[in-house]
Chains A and B, each alone.
Chain A
Amino acid sequence: MHFIARLALAVVIGLAAHPAAAADKPSLTIYTYDGFAGEYGPGPGLKAGFEAQCGCTVNFVGTDSSIGALRRVQLEGATTSADIVLGLDTSIAGEARATGLFAPHGLALTGLSLPVKWTDPEFVPFDYGYFAFVYDKTKVANPPKSFEELIAKPTTFKIAIEDPRSDTPGLGLLLWIRAAYGDKAPEIWKGLKPHIVTMARSWDDAYGLFLKGEADMALSYTTSPAYHAITDKTDKYASARFDEGHYAQIEVAGMLKSSKHQDLAKQFLGYLTSVPAQKIIPTTNWMYPVVDLGADLPAEFNALPKPAKLLSLDEKTITANKDKWIADALAAIQ
């Protein structure tokens, strides 16, 4: 009983001690997805870096997904304690903009190095990558070079993908196929059906299945092999280059109109696109930085193949058609 009482006490004290977060300093609250905020992600490094220069406290609040972070702000409305939402991507930006919760960032954002010209008045990009299927070179000798080649493979050739409703790579695949094939997209989905070992809720599950050998390829990013090269010290993973081109995901952050720390929030968004902050991104979020880091970008990133062609869809089209496209794709593989 004694042990339990002490545990109970510890929880109660922890509960009471929590709100006492440095009342003298302003604090900046950032809602993001858990992987970004967590110990493996860029969150801790960015927090330390910004706190060293802002005289403030940075509070990352992780939610289960980036869409979850947006939903939470929508739920909380004007009373939210968040100043910034970080981790949305260009596929969901239109929907986020339509909520009217985001304020213009007012930053010049010169010197960005992105696959597209950046003119967004509300969202600031902080990293990007290209969706791609990742495979194990020791197991797959002839990776498909297009969706059509993938479909033509024997049905024992399996892919693990993510659900477009729950995960941004899943949505990315949907838009990728749409951008490449337009109205023929449902036919591509129908062709993929026998190859889909599972449509997982999250990237974690799909990629986990692939690493376990349950699938020959998983939908991920062209930058995923850099993780294995740098951390695992193995070069056996590669991404399959598709002739149709690849769809880019640009991750963005935006400040909220309701924030009581507008200047601080703007300052953070500026810091996010600075060289010191961008240096943290590649080896923690495993994506490309949005500024040219020169020699500071690990060589493994430079060794990655760049897509032959870049595919994109404009925001209005995505926002207007997303639900229908998802329904079509799901119906095709049902």
Chain B
Amino acid sequence: MPTPWPRSNSQPKVLPPRPLRLLGGAVIAMAVALLVVLVLWSIASAAYGQPETAAPLPDVAHLLRMSAIQAALSTVLSLLVGTALAWSLNRLRFAGRNLVIALFASAIVTPGLIVAFGLLTVWGRSGWINAIANVLFHTSIDTPIFGLGGILAAHVILDAAFAARILLARLDAIPSTRLKTGQGLALTPAKRFATIDWPALRGTMPGLAAIIFLLAFTSFPIVLLLGGGPANQTLEVAIYSAVRLDFNLHGAVILALAQIGFCSIIILAASAFAPIPSTLGPSAGQRWADRGFAKAVQWTVLLACIIGFALPLLAVLAGGFSSNLPALFARPSFPSALATSLAIGTLSALLTLVLALGLGSARAATLRPLARIGLAAPAYAYLAVPAVVLALGFFLLVRTMGIEPATAGPAVVILGNALLSLPFAIATLGPPLEAVASGQGKLIRSLGLSGWQQFVRVEWPLLGREIGVVLALAFCFSLGDLGVISFFGTQDFSTLPLLLVRALGAYRTDDAAIVAAVMLVITVAAFTALPQFFARWSDAQA
């Protein structure tokens, strides 16, 4: 489709030479790839010393097919809803907009279990919707919240909101000159979306689709809680039962390899897809609202999404305000778990940022497709490696090195969480780093900036917000982690999610609801504060 303005990537690309960045990125990529290999090797070698078990392997082909259908549906729905929501949020301005955006953004990192319970509070048999229906119509609505419907609903809440947050950032970054040109040409809302918005979104789509597909493919607590039973299963669930229940390490390795193999195809396809760099620019101030029918559609989308997405999370918050609140806060375990969670989250967020910047800037510094795949694929592999396999592998590795698991606990939890957030960090930082390299590469070259100067003078001022988003993402992922810590937690080393599970396991549903609400408040606060703080900080230094 011809565009009325020159596209930056239509010119031959001239990238400044960045050998150090390439080297750093290569080292990180190799290290994270080596870790995957080590993890699998340590499980395989433990399996070698184990007698063959009689426990039959589940039907892998069937599991792959079921998981793939569910994941494909989740991806398509999430991208559709996410695009519509990003489009609406980009056009509309209203009081509390930032809070709404943060709430949507926080969905992705909210522990699946909390979302599932929030969903039930609203849509369940005894949920709010049915309570209203009972009062108004004296009848209950049979909502298909268990089974495939429930799984898809929960995935769309988690993933569409995440997609919307990423896509909104791309829309907000469209330079005002383009908007002015578009306004001057009096583009209709549809034409405007096709010629201005879509090119800005396109580059992000393959990576985003791959991430959502893999998230849904490897989904675990949601599938177990809302799936309604063994009819709806994922490969990840089969791996969990092989590792934790049947103690069939042979089977676990085979299933994990099947999952990693299948997911790798998706990852390679996505990372080979050369992303179209989106242009960067200050987004402050400029806006161009649609009118009439389009505006009505935008409001409808927004309201539907608030009811659909925000209500379940609000239900979690509402559930936390109970009379047990002071008593729980007074327990010594609560402040200690809170402090541990905050410390682990902060450190693992910083580690994620360093790794993602290293990989992302190296990737942006080369045009060779093979190098680009090699730099991104290992990080994306952590979307495919089941958390239970990662945790078990780390556990065995630490023991092989002669370290007590309890001693290594904090370090391993920080590292494990950072690795699991890395794909999201790369997806967030990658496109803007590429945009800087291809859009400003010529300028950087002609000014003769060094790699460090390029970061301080060009990238940092432009990427402040994205850096804040990455930190918030990684922090919140780590805050909600249950997979890694389940192997390493002790009585002296526990986090908020462990506290939540302990309360649930001891009939204390009220206490669990409070912990869930506290985690959600921290998540939303991190998502509101961090991107804004870093955007301001980097702006101030620009």
Residues of chain A whose beta carbon lies under 8 Å from any beta carbon of chain B:
4, 7-8, 10-11, 14-15, 18-19, 34-35, 37-41, 43, 60-65, 67-68, 71, 74-76, 79, 81, 158, 163, 165-166, 196-205, 207-209, 211-214, 224, 227-228, 231, 286, 323, 327, 330, 333-334
**In the complex the two chains form, is B228's CB within 8 Å of A8's CB?**
no
**In the complex the two chains form, is B410's CB within 8 Å of A35's CB?**
no
**In the complex the two chains form, is B343's CB within 8 Å of A7's CB?**
yes
A51 to chain B, nearest CB (A): 14
A74→B47 CA distance, assembly (Å): 11
What are 13 A-B pairs at a CB distance below 8 A? A7-B343, A11-B344, A15-B410, A18-B492, A39-B333, A62-B489, A166-B244, A198-B225, A212-B121, A224-B507, A286-B507, A323-B54, A330-B230
**In the complex the two chains form, is B46's CB within 8 Å of A75's CB?**
yes
**In the complex the two chains form, is A212's CB within 8 Å of B505's CB?**
no
Q: What residues of chain B lie closer than 8 Å to A330, measured between beta carbons?
A: 230
Indicate if B350 sits at the interface (CB-CB under 8 A). Answer: yes
A288→B390 CA distance, assembly (Å): 38
B331 to chain A, nearest CB (A): 7
**In the complex the two chains form, is B399's CB within 8 Å of A76's CB?**
yes
B contacts with A, residue count (CB < 8 A): 64
Indicate if B41 sits at the interface (CB-CB under 8 A). Answer: no
Indicate if B241 sits at the interface (CB-CB under 8 A). Answer: yes
8 Å CB interface, B465-497 against A: 486-487, 489-493
Q: Other CB < 8 Å A-B pairs besides A11-B414, A39-B331, A203-B505, 20 of them?
A: A10-B339, A10-B343, A11-B410, A14-B493, A35-B502, A38-B502, A40-B505, A60-B491, A62-B489, A65-B244, A71-B243, A163-B224, A198-B229, A199-B229, A201-B224, A209-B120, A212-B121, A214-B125, A228-B507, A323-B55
**In the complex the two chains form, is B404's CB within 8 Å of A212's CB?**
no
A224→B331 CA distance, assembly (Å): 24
Q: What residues of chain A lie closer than 8 Å to B46, measured between beta carbons?
A: 75
Q: What residues of chain A lie closer than 8 Å to B227, measured between beta carbons?
A: 198
- Given known A76-B399, A286-B507, contact A18–B347 (CB-CB < 8 A): no
- How many A-B pairs have beta carbons closer than 8 Å: the answer is 153
- Given known A18-B492, A212-B124, contact A40–B508 (CB-CB < 8 A): yes
Residues of chain B whose beta carbon lies under 8 Å from any beta carbon of chain A:
46, 54-56, 113, 117, 120-121, 124-126, 146, 221, 224-231, 240-241, 243-247, 331, 333, 339, 342-344, 346-347, 350, 395-396, 399, 404, 406-407, 410-411, 414, 486-487, 489-493, 498, 501-509, 512
Q: Which of B228, B414, B486 contacts A197 (CB 8 A)?
A: B228
A230 to chain B, nearest CB (A): 10
A39→B502 CA distance, assembly (Å): 8
A198→B229 CA distance, assembly (Å): 5
A34→B343 CA distance, assembly (Å): 22
A213→B127 CA distance, assembly (Å): 8
A43→B502 CA distance, assembly (Å): 12
A68→B487 CA distance, assembly (Å): 9
Residue of B nearest to A67 (CB): B245
A40→B512 CA distance, assembly (Å): 12
**In the complex the two chains form, is B120's CB within 8 Å of A201's CB?**
no
A231→B224 CA distance, assembly (Å): 29
- Given known A35-B506, A64-B486, A214-B120, contact A200–B225 (CB-CB < 8 A): yes
Residue of A nearest to B339 (CB): A10
B363 to chain A, nearest CB (A): 27
Q: Which of A7, A39, A65 contacts B342 (CB 8 A)?
A: A7
Q: Which of A19, A209, A227 contacts B407 (CB 8 A)?
A: A19
Q: What residues of chain B lie closer than 8 Å to A165, measured between beta carbons?
A: 241, 245-246
**In the complex the two chains form, is A333's CB within 8 Å of B507's CB?**
no
- Of the candidates B228, B241, B246, B506, the one having the most CB atoms from chain A within 10 angstroms of its own CB is B506
**In the complex the two chains form, is B221's CB within 8 Å of A15's CB?**
no
A67→B241 CA distance, assembly (Å): 11
A61→B492 CA distance, assembly (Å): 10
**In the complex the two chains form, is B407's CB within 8 Å of A15's CB?**
yes
A134 to chain B, nearest CB (A): 11
Q: What residues of chain A lie closer than 8 Å to B512, measured between beta carbons?
A: 208
B352 to chain A, nearest CB (A): 14
Q: Which of B228, B245, B343, B407 contacts A11 (CB 8 A)?
A: B343
A208→B504 CA distance, assembly (Å): 7
Q: What residues of chain B lie closer than 8 Å to A228, measured between beta carbons?
A: 507
- Of the candidates B125, B231, B347, B509, the one having the most CB atoms from chain A within 10 angstroms of its own CB is B125
A200→B414 CA distance, assembly (Å): 29
